[in-house]
Chains A and B, each alone.
Chain A
Amino acid sequence: MTTITLNGVEQVFDEDPTMPLLWAIRDIAGLTGTKYGCGAGLCGACTVHVEGKAVRACQTSLRSVEGKAVTTIEGLDPEGNHPVQVAWRDLNVPQCGFCQPGQIMQAAAFLGETPKPTDAEILAAMSGNVCRCGCYQRIVEAVRHASTGI
């Protein structure tokens, strides 16, 4: 049994504690904004926050987040208006959109730690998040855009 605070609400998971947080979030908690992309920590589609830090949920066991606060894209902002989300909309970032929750969670955590990043810092921070549609130019611009509002 694993207890975590998921988007501000304490939740008990009666599952195998080695289950990756990704599948606990998607299949057990029913929150589908966190995406499966590779299952190996290589693409960033499943990025969530654990105690405010970006982690790959596919590489994070339920056991390892016992008692911790987990935030998914659904819980990033009550109105969906976190500055990163707003920037994403202002700059029309998405194409298919599938990787974007992970991109947004990565960017939000990054800007939380590095509010005024250099371009090189942005590129490095976002390089673990793959976008097969190729939205990188707008992703990077949106992170920069958001950084002026955080």
Chain B
Amino acid sequence: MLNYLEPLLETGIATVRLTKVTRRSFLGTAGAFALAAYAMPARAFDAYATGGLGMEHGLVEDPLIFVSIDPDGTVTLVAHRSEMGTGSRTSIPMVMADEMEADWTRVKIIQAPGDEPKYGNQDTDGSRSMRHHIQMARKIGGAVRTMLARAGAEEWGVDPAQVIVEMHEVKGPSGQSLGFGDLAAAAMAQPVPAHEEVAYKTEDQFRYIGKGEVQITDLHDITTGSAVYGADVILPGMKYAVIARPPVVGGKALSYDATEALKVPGVESVHELPYASMPTQFAPLGGIAVVARNTWAATQGRDQLKIEWDAGPNGGYSSEPYMAEMIATSEHPGTVARDQGDVEAALAGAVKTFTATYTQDHVAHIPMEPPAAIASYTAEGLEIWAPVQSPYTTRKDAAKAVGLDPEMVRVNVTLLGGGFGRKSKADYVAEAALLSKKVGAPVRVQWTREDDVKHSFYHTTSAERIDVALDESGAVTGWRHRSVAPSILSTFAPDEGNVLPLELAMGMTDLPFDLPNIRCEHGKALAHTRIGWFRSVSNIPHAWAIGSCVGELAHELGKDQRQMWLELIGAPRSLDLKAAGLPEDFWNYGEPIAEFPIETGRLADVLNIAADGIGYGKELPEGEGIGLAVHRSFVSYVACAARVKVADGRITVPEMHMAIDCGFAANPERIQSQMQGAAVMGMTVALHSGITFEGGAVMQSNYYDYDVVRSDNFPTVVTHIVPHPFSVHATGVGEPGVPPVSPAIANGLFAATGDRRRHLPMGVEA
């Protein structure tokens, strides 16, 4: 177990014990660690299948696309995934550098523009960056190291087997030595070796991989204010725009008067943008744009617009009646998505049943950086600078918005000031493109925080009803889960009210419990706003319902939470899809089930680690309780143990233990930071995040009514990472920490005070 944090008991605040990069000198012990490209027989790591090839434009493993070496020895590596805080911009190049024996201090990272045919898939979501690219990065690094060795061998006229590549140096058998820069041209002219020809490192030879000692590449720039995010690019002659968008999706301006807006000093022009109707896909919502000499003038101008809005077909959307309708729908049989055994017979014949319905409001992502984009439309084409998770999709959408061929569009990817799924949908980029074309100058579109809260692609709202059958011994004999929620599909295709199988496969139909009778159903719910994905997606409502229900069953049956979880999870095994009543091609986050099975032993392990870590079962002061929850998502296993404290009428969570099994841990320091972040975001979801609608419009607007966990109430998190060799495939990290947090907090609150809450957000008041 790797414990990255040890709590300081006297303060309750954990110390961070993360050492900076220590570059051990290998000079004295070269023999022990020397890497010969050919001295050893080729030793390919066992490559395995992932869903990476199945992604649009798949994987590109050509080192000539990703690696270049300057004559001075500088190694430039291309980061093709967007950086939004998970560390992928550092971690994937770090893997390449390690395999090629590059000295990290001599590595430069450049960001790829949106170009999937060249770089492979660039959709930075789904917790896929390391999962799909760790093998590709090793192959690229190993190939370049081999090419350097071959170039050295040719230079010296020796057998390549006698050449050693070590820490930015290529060494021959008679003391010859050349730097990477000296051999750059010759190495890069070598044919690219096949995977089987490369002598990869053994895991004990990794310098950076798995160590957690490489700092993120943008660390210095971030701390000095020079890091470039979406709104930080300044172009000559650039204009600044803000937009008044229809309050209701599908609405439009019946009329508008810009007279007063145009009088605001600095305002230059006002433009009406075309409106969107559902399914909107990622098209802008339309509205009235104010273009000005600076952002302040633009916002002042917008305040002076007089607009008469027509709400359109979604003007009747109000959260309270909608929730009541979803709950009512969950009371009737729905479409069956998983059917194992005979749950109806189990419920009918049960000695006792337990029923509960768990609900959740919509959630908005509110990354610290609200959407912003810069576009420059000229006769040569369209150039974009923007914080986007999917730069190639953005390129196609921006091209479509202004009627250009995507070949005429370049999307430069800045750093993202948080993404969480919002920045996969680049409606803000298309807005900038449209406006740049209209005004004939570069335009920066800035969303205000209110714009961001009111015009997001919202996490779904849902009602989850679970009916449990119990026999005379108190054993669970049947589990029926009905989910009712508007679908992400409604954003892309005409809405029939049905969710996608993959939404249900996020934590509902993949239920790993060892029970004879399980049925999962879904009921219809039509969407009346743009539904999108938010960090961990449908796993949030599903884990919330299932985890809360397990806590409630424990109480009903007089068991402790750990015992209840372990009984339901059952013996260590891989879930048998057929026996579970699931199809052979069951969606497994896009991964082949043979390589990434659903393993209940790993689920139980992380639960035990978190429970042991927090000291589950220990005596606690009055008003405190520990809650447990565990969940598999993005093919990783995460447990949360939360110590909840109720004092002065407020719910606080002073301590959490997060235990993650994500297979091989490529960068434990960033895994830890993701677990700390997931704990905070999960706690925000649990206590604060509720977006509600009235008359089709969002009722919240800024941090005062859509608050988040802050530094005066964050949980001290202890992260446990289950260590694995490379052969246990690396899996997701960015998202899977979030789902178990809210049920753990709910179970902890119940343990503290007996107060059971079944709606998210729970609120902070006890």
Residues A135 and B676 in contact, CB atoms below 8 Å apart: yes
* A134, B295: Cβ atoms closer than 8 Å: no
Write the nearest CB–CB distance from A20 to chain B, whole angstroms: 6
Give the shortest distance, in Å, between B492 (CB) and chain A (any CB). Answer: 26
B residues within 8 A CB of A80?
220, 223-224
Who on chain A is nearest to B679 by CB? A134
Chain B residues with Cβ under 8 A from A85's Cβ? 223-224
Report chain B residues within 8 Å CB of A37: 368-370, 449
- Please encode chain A, from 117 to 129, with 1 for each CB lying within 8 Å of some chain B CB and 0 for all others: 0010001101111
A97 touches B710 (CB 8 A): no
B471 adjacent to chain A (CB < 8 Å): no
Name the distance in Å between A40's Cβ and chain B's nearest Cβ.
5
Contact with B along A98-113 (1 / 0, CB 8 A): 1111001000000000
B710 & A98 in contact (Cβ 8 Å cutoff): no
Residues of B within 8 A of A137 (CB): 5, 13-14, 16, 676, 714, 716-717
Interface residue tally on A, bucketed by range: 35 or more
- B711→A92 contact, CB < 8 A: no
Nearest to B680 among chain A residues (CB) is A134
Q: How far is the CA of A20 from the CA of B300 in the complex (A)?
A: 11
Q: B296 near A: Cβ within 8 Å?
A: yes
Kindly supply a per-residue 1/0 record for chain B positions 667-696, scoring 1 wherever the CB is within 8 Å of any chain A CB and 0 otherwise: 001000110111111000000000000000
A27 cross-chain contacts in B, Cβ below 8 A: 240, 294-296
Evaluate contact between A74 and B224: CB separation under 8 angstroms: yes
Chain B residues with Cβ under 8 A from A119's Cβ? 11-13
Bound form: Cα–Cα A126–B13 in Å: 15
Contact B370 A132 (CB under 8 A): no
Question: Once bound together, how far apart are the Cα atoms of A15 and B300, in whole Å?
Answer: 13
Stretch of B110-118, B412-420, B433-441 that contacts chain A: B412-420
Chain A residues closer than 8 Å to B240, beta-carbon distance: 27
A138 on interface, CB distance cutoff 8 Å: yes
Contact for A36 among B446, B450, B704, CB less than 8 A: B446
CB proximity of B173 to chain A, nearest CB, Å = 41
B669 contact from A92, A130, A139, Cβ within 8 A: A92
Residues of A within 8 A of B226 (CB): 33, 74
In the complex the two chains form, is B677's CB within 8 Å of A133's CB? yes
Which of B14, B216, B266 contacts A16, CB < 8 Å? Answer: B266
Instruction: Flag if B708 contacts A130 (CB, 8 Å).
Output: yes
Number of interface residues of B (CB under 8 A): 73
With A23-B296, A91-B18 as given contacts, are A96 and B231 in contact (CB-CB < 8 Å)? no
- Asked whether A97 and B295 contact (CB < 8 A) given A91-B16, A136-B710, A139-B711, the answer is no
Tell me which residues across on chain A come within 8 A of B449, comparing CB atoms.
37-40, 43
Question: How far does the alpha carbon of A136 sit from the alpha carbon of B220 in the complex, in Å?
Answer: 19
Nearest chain B residue, comparing its CB with the CB of A27: B294
| Dominant SS among interface residues on chain B | loop
Q: State which residues 39-77 of A face B: CB under 8 Å.
A: 39-40, 42-43, 45, 72-74
Chain B residues near A33: list those with CB within 8 A.
224-226
A92: B residues at CB distance < 8 A: 16, 18, 215-216, 219, 669, 673
Q: Which of A99, A138, A139 contacts B368 (CB 8 A)?
A: A99
What residues of chain B lie closer than 8 Å to A34, measured between beta carbons? Answer: 225
In the assembled complex, the Cα of A20 lies from the Cα of B296 at a distance in Å of: 8
Check if B766 is an interface residue, CB within 8 A of chain A. no
- Is residue A30 contacting chain B, with contact meaning CB distance below 8 A? yes
User: Which residue on A lies nearest to B420, using beta carbons?
Assistant: A132
**Could you tell me the distance between the alpha carbons of A99 and B418 in the complex, rounded to whole angstroms?**
10
**Contacting residue for A98 out of B265, B368, B450, B716, CB 8 A:** B368
Q: Are A16 and B222 in contact, CB atoms less than 8 angstroms apart?
A: no
- Which residue of chain B lies nearest to A94 when distances are taken between CB atoms in the complex? B222
In the bound complex, CA of A104 to CA of B220 (Å): 13
Contact A97 B676 (CB under 8 A): no
Partner of A134, one of B369, B669, B678: B678
- Contact (A97, B415) CB under 8 Å given A133-B85, A134-B677, A141-B13: yes
Known contacts A119-B13, A130-B708, A137-B14; A98 and B229 CB within 8 A of each other: yes
Cβ of B228 under 8 Å from chain A: yes
**Complex CA–CA separation, A101 to B14 (angstroms):** 23
CA distance A38 to B452 in the complex (A): 10
Which B336-377 residues have C-beta < 8 A from chain A?
366-370
Q: Which of B222, B227, B228, B681 has the most CB of A within 10 A?
A: B222
Q: Is the CB of A26 within 8 A of B295?
A: yes
A136/B673 in contact, CB under 8 A: no
Residues of B within 8 A of A40 (CB): 449, 702-704
B712 within 8 A of A: yes
Q: Does B378 touch A at the CB level, under 8 Å?
A: no
Within 8 Å of chain A (Cβ to Cβ): is B199?
no
CA distance A38 to B702 in the complex (A): 7
Given contacts A37-B368, A133-B677, contact A95 B85 (CB under 8 A): yes
B516 CB to closest chain A CB (Å) equals 40
CA distance A30 to B702 in the complex (A): 26
CB contacts (< 8 Å) of A101 on chain B: these are: 222-223, 225
Bound complex: CA of A62 vs CA of B480, how far in Å? 61
Contact A36 B231 (CB under 8 A): yes
B647 at the interface (CB under 8 A from A): no
Contact B223 A104 (CB under 8 A): yes
On chain A, the residues within 8 Å of B680 by CB distance are: 131, 133-134, 136
B503 at the interface (CB under 8 A from A): no
| In contact, B368 and A45 (Cβ under 8 angstroms) | yes
Docked CA distance A144–B8 (Å): 13
> Which residues in window 189-217 of B have CB below 8 A to A?
215-216
- A43 to B5: give the CA distance in the assembly, Å: 27
Per-residue CB proximity of B703-746 to A under 8 Å, as 1/0?
11000111110101100000000000000000000000000000
Task: Tell me if B539 counts as interface (CB < 8 A to partner A).
Answer: no
Q: A95-B673, A141-B13 are in contact. Are A132 and B708 (CB under 8 A)?
A: yes
The verdict on A28 contacting chain B, using a C-beta distance below 8 Å, is yes
Asked if A138 contacts B704 (CB within 8 A), the reply is: no
Within the complex, the shortest CB–CB distance from A46 to chain B, in Å, comes to 11
Chain A CB within 8 A of B86 CB: yes
Q: Are B368 and A32 in contact (CB under 8 A)?
A: no
Report the Cα distance A102→B226, complex, angstroms: 13
Report yes or no: A96 in contact with B368, Cβ–Cβ below 8 A.
yes
Tell me, yes or no, whether B232 is within 8 Å of chain A by CB. Answer: yes
| Residue B467 is within 8 A (CB to CB) of chain A in the complex | no
How distant is the Cα of A89 from the Cα of B450 in the complex, in angstroms? 32
Q: With the chains together, A123 CA to B711 CA distance in Å? A: 6
**Bound-complex Cα distance A138 to B13 (A):** 10
Contacts of B296 in A (CB 8 A): 15-16, 19-20, 23, 27
Which residues from A are CB-within-8-Å of B297?
Answer: 16
Determine the distance from Cα of A73 to Cα of B676 in the docked complex, in whole angstroms.
Answer: 26
**Which of A36, A74, A136, A138 meets B225, CB within 8 Å?**
A74
Q: Which 3 pairs from chain A and chain B are nearest by CB?
A: A33-B225, A134-B680, A98-B417
Given contacts A96-B85, A129-B710, A137-B716, 13 further A-B contacts (CB under 8 A): A15-B266, A35-B369, A38-B702, A39-B450, A43-B368, A73-B225, A91-B18, A96-B367, A98-B367, A132-B420, A136-B711, A137-B14, A141-B15
8 A-B residue pairs with Cβ-Cβ distance under 8 Å, sorted by A, are A23-B295, A28-B294, A74-B225, A92-B669, A101-B223, A132-B366, A133-B368, A134-B709
Binding site for A on B (CB under 8 A): 5, 11-16, 18, 20, 83-87, 215-216, 218-220, 222-229, 231-232, 234, 240, 265-266, 294-297, 299, 366-370, 415-420, 446, 448-450, 669, 673-674, 676-681, 702-704, 708-712, 714, 716-717
